[in-house]
Amino acid sequence: MSQAMEFLLSEDGASAIEYAIIAGFLSVVILASVDDVGSRVLAKFESVSGSFP
């Protein structure tokens, strides 16, 4: 019975889940910012290429 209580009181899994949530949030933020920057760069290249005769 003491192993069951030790398992229930253990916080090792909780910190791993917290790190996974943080990593997931960071990946979403990075993907969103890369997509935004990519759109801006594409618009700039189209603008420059359109100015050539």
Token representation of residue 41: 């760069």
- Is 29 within the bounds of a domain? yes
- Is 27 within the bounds of a domain? yes
- Is 5 within the bounds of a domain? no
Domain with 45, as residue range(s), is 11-50
- Percentage of residues in the chain having pLDDT higher than 90: 47
Q: How far apart are CA 18 and CA 34, in angstroms?
A: 24
Residues written for the chain = 53
Total of domains in the chain = 1
- Is 3 within the bounds of a domain? no
- Percentage of residues in the chain having pLDDT higher than 70: 91
- Is 1 within the bounds of a domain? no
Q: Which residues of 30-40 are buried (b: 16+ CB within 10 A; e: fewer)?
A: eeeeeeeeeee
Question: Is the pLDDT at 24 greater than 80, yes or no?
Answer: yes
* Per-residue pLDDT reduced to its tens digit, 25-40: 999 999 999 998 999 9
Residue of higher predicted confidence among 2 and 33: 33
